Structure 1
């Protein structure tokens, strides 16, 4: 995914095309970014986003399939995820035709993303469990040394309820460590994230 928002401007046959891209985690974040960078005085603000299996694109008044879909194809083609791209056009008087529009919108988005700084996406999983008071300090230290983030702790009569987030690739190792330290007493549960997904074009 993108490390930070980026932008790129091109002049194509007297029309100005400005691509602006940003990392996003949810469709709501994507739509907020689109709203924040779209210029109401521009001729068109075309966009697309891809977040996991959720995607959406909009030609924003350009002929169907000439703007939003090419932008989406660029995001996919360059291996980006959790990314939104808006390409704004200020018409300069020369019509580009269907093929020209596809090349202009897709090409501007592609050039914007091609040199953009990236960061790897690390899939995470959240686990909850309860440990005894005597095990808490040791368990917390061990988990933090294994790239776990302590999301929350709940001190109750039966012990300490812990909620941790960790890279998915370390889940088996972390489960084993929790089981060992608690001598098999901890019941480990995965926190299910309820994420609605909609697909559009």
Structure 2
């Protein structure tokens, strides 16, 4: 069974000025290392005249692949703090580049760590972060007598209806989190005395995006 995790739905950009140095954090969703590396190269071309383009990314539903780069900054002052922010937020399949334009004043090791960490946080704050939930599509077939009870049970369990068809009987297509599937099926069978027909469909990922359920 898959586990839910946080991911970037829409990337964003954050900016920070620290002792005249300008830090620009660009965040994107990245489903593979190839995608992350292509993004990093694109940022280096876009900000070709920057002092540094430091990067970090976490790839995989369980965050199996993690990489970071200081891009010329003192070792451990940029890439690692950036990666630690991503890990701390629990976000996966994400890549971030923090571009620095040196302002003429050295920040010191601690100052660099704080600046790069704060930049990533600013970039994430301007992004749309979602929780991806593994789900299963479930088709429910019932007569009109059982419809009210089924709608009540679904509402009590927070299960949303994707589609409904009304003919001589009723068919409801709903999306159930994987972790709730057996409970939902048991509740529907018991609540309708076994009259409702249930058919499991495809597995998918979904998320609540600004109050709207989106299948990913």
Question: For the superposition of Structure 1 and Structure 2, which TM-score range results when normalised by the shorter chain?
Answer: 0.5 to 0.7
CA change 1:167–1:37 in 2 (3 A) is farther
Report what 2:116 is aligned to: 105
- After superposition, the CA RMSD in angstroms is 3.3
CA deviations 1:96-150 (Å, max 9, x no partner) are: 111111011111111221353212223479xxxxxxxxxxxxxxx9xx9355xxx
Structure 1 consecutive aligned stretches of length 4 or more whose deviation exceeds 2 Å: 122-125, 144-147, 166-173
Instruction: Name stretches of at least 5 consecutive residues in structure 2 with no aligned partner.
Output: 1-6, 137-164, 166-171, 184-197, 200-216
Give the whole-Å Cα distance in 2 for the aligned partners of 1:124 and 1:62.
43
Corresponding residue to 2:13 among 2, 7, 19: 7
Which residue, out of 99, 102, 106, partners 1:91? 102
Q: Which has the higher strand share?
A: 2
User: Is 2:67 the counterpart of 1:56?
Assistant: yes
Q: Give ranges in structure 1 of 5+ residues lacking alignment.
A: 126-140, 148-165, 174-179, 182-201
Relative to structure 1, is the Cα distance of residues 170 and 36 closer, same or farther in structure 2, using a 3 angstrom cutoff? Answer: farther
Q: CA deviation at 1:170?
A: 7.3
TM score, norm. by length of structure 1:
0.62
Normalising to structure 2: TM-score of the pair?
Answer: 0.58
In the comparison of the two structures, how many residue pairs are matched? 151
5 Å-filtered alignment, 1:162-201, equals 168-169=178-179
Give the structure 1 partner of residue 42 of structure 2. 36
1:73 aligns with 2:78: no
